[in-house]
Amino acid sequence: MKKGTNTGNYNTGNRNTGNYNTGDRNTGNRNTGNRNTGNYNTGDWNTGDYNTGDRNTGDRNTGNWNTGGWNTGDYNTGDRNTGYCNSVTPSEILVFNKPCSREEWQNADKPQWMCCALTKWVREADMTDKEKEANPSYVTTGGYLKAYSSLKAAFVDAWENAAEDDRELTKKLPNFDPHVFKEVFGFDPFKTDEPRSDCDGKTVKIDGKRYRLTLEE
C-alpha cells in the first residue's frame, strides 16, 4: 500500500477510500476494478455492487451501462436481460434449452449439488494417502484446500457425493432434459446414448399452460 494515497485498509491500488481494493480510486470495498463507488465489483466505474462489467449503476451485472440488475447485456434499465436497451424484465426464460416461466424456475427446488465451488476443504480424515503425500501441511492444518481443474470436474465430484434424494431433484427441474444436462455439466449419469423419440422432451401449450412430453416405455 502506498502511504498517503489510501484512506482504507488492505488496498493494493491507489487513492482508495474503501477496503480490500486492488484497483484505483475506489470508494467502496473489495473492488478489483477502478473508480467504483459500489462494492465487490471487478469492472470499472460501477456505482452498484457485485458487477463484473463496467459503468453499471445497478447490481450483479456482467454487461455494461446497466441501471437494472442481473443483466448480461448492455444499456438495460430492466432486470435479468441478456440483450440490449431493454426497459422490461422478461417473464420467460430458457431452461434446458426450452421456454420456461421465470416464476416456475424460481419456485423449483434446486439440488444442492449444483451449488458447488472450484475449491473444497478436505478434512484430514477424508484425505487419501496420495493427497497427504502431495499436501504435507495437512499435519498442522488438519486438512487441505482442494482446487478443481475445471467447473465440470467440480460438478462431477459434487454429483458423486450427493445424496440420492438430492440427485432426484435434478430430474424434477423444469424442462429437464438428460441430453442437455450432459452438454451443460459434462458428464452423463442418465445414460443418454440410446436414441430418443423426436417428441420426447418437447413442450406443448394447452389452454395457456405448458406441458412437457415424455416417452413412456
Q: Which residue has the cell 449503476?
A: 57
For 143-155, give one letter per residue: b (16+ CB within 10 A) or e: bbebebeeeeebb
Query: What is the model's pLDDT at position 188?
Result: 94
Query: What is the model's pLDDT at position 51?
Result: 85
In sequence order, the 6+-apart residues with CB closer than 8 A to the CB of 17 are 6, 7, 8, 26, 27
**CA-CA distance, 29 to 60, in Å (whole number)?**
15
Tell me the mean pLDDT in the region 32-48: 83
User: Which phi and psi angles does 169 have, rounded to 5°?
Assistant: -60, -25
In sequence order, the 6+-apart residues with CB closer than 8 A to the CB of 196 are 179, 215
Residue 156 clears pLDDT 90, i.e. is over it:
yes
**Closest to 18 in 3D by CA, of 41, 128, 206, 112:** 41
Q: Which residue has the higher pLDDT, 4 or 91?
A: 91
SS3 115: helix
**CA-CA distance, 143 to 122, in Å (whole number)?**
5
How much is the pTM? 0.60
| 204's grid cell | 406443448
Mean residue pLDDT of the chain comes to 85
Q: Which residue has the higher pLDDT, 57 or 3?
A: 57
Q: Which residue has the higher pLDDT, 26 or 3?
A: 26
Q: Which residue has the cell 440490449?
A: 84
| 2's grid cell | 502506498
**Closest to 122 in 3D by CA, of 110, 134, 111:** 134
DSSP H or E stretch at residue 206? strand 203-206
* 70 neighbors 60 (Cβ within 8 angstroms): yes
Strands 98-101 and 92-95 come out as: antiparallel
